[in-house]
Structure 1
Amino acid sequence: MCLSIPSKVVALHPDEQAVTVETMGVKRKVSSHLLSDPLELDDYVLIHIGFVMNKIDKADAEQSLALYQEIVKKMDEQEY
């Protein structure tokens, strides 16, 4: 199973067909070769193995990120 967390585009690298994304505080450069539509700063995308697979709606992305943050918080509160 693959779990894709929405990532926000924070830098564009058009000469490399790449973007830098931020995912829950972690930044990394990923390829945008597979996406036909151009990306802009603050777009939200889903990534698989280092490639942008699709652009997603900002409201949906923010809702998903809030749920992920809630899951992480609950996991941190649990004792192992």
Structure 2
Amino acid sequence: MAIPSRIVAIDGDMATVEAFGRQRHVSLLLMQHPVRLGDYLLIQAGGFAYECVAPDRALETLAILDGIVDHAEN
């Protein structure tokens, strides 16, 4: 399962993305279209971004996943 991650910085073919308060660096080499700060990406194993996700869909997915984690912790 890929978790939508928001771009917080771009440096050439690399981006820093954030999801659930954690940041990581990912490669943009597989992206077919240019990306911008604030875009949501799906990241595959190995740290390669492969798809842009519409913000409303990304936020909906993140809310569902957050609810699952909250439920599992209680």
Q: Distance in 2 between matches of 1:12 and 1:57?
A: 19
Is residue 31 of structure 2 the alignment partner of residue 54 of structure 1?
no
Is residue 15 of structure 2 the alignment partner of residue 7 of structure 1?
no
Amino acid corresponding to residue 71 of structure 1 in structure 2:
I
Q: Distance in 1 between matches of 2:67 and 2:32?
A: 33
Instruction: Give SS of 2:17's match.
Output: strand
2:30 alignment partner, one of 34, 48, 52: 34
Q: Distance in 2 between matches of 1:42 and 1:66?
A: 17
RMSD: 0.6
- State the partner residue of 2:64: 67
Amino acid corresponding to residue 38 of structure 1 in structure 2:
P
Consecutive unaligned residues of structure 1, counting only runs of 5 or more, are: none
- State the partner residue of 2:14: 18
Consecutive unaligned residues of structure 2, counting only runs of 5 or more, are: none
Deviation, 1:23, is: 1.3
Amino acid corresponding to residue 13 of structure 1 in structure 2:
D
Deviation, 1:36, is: 1.9
TM-score when normalising by structure 2: 0.96
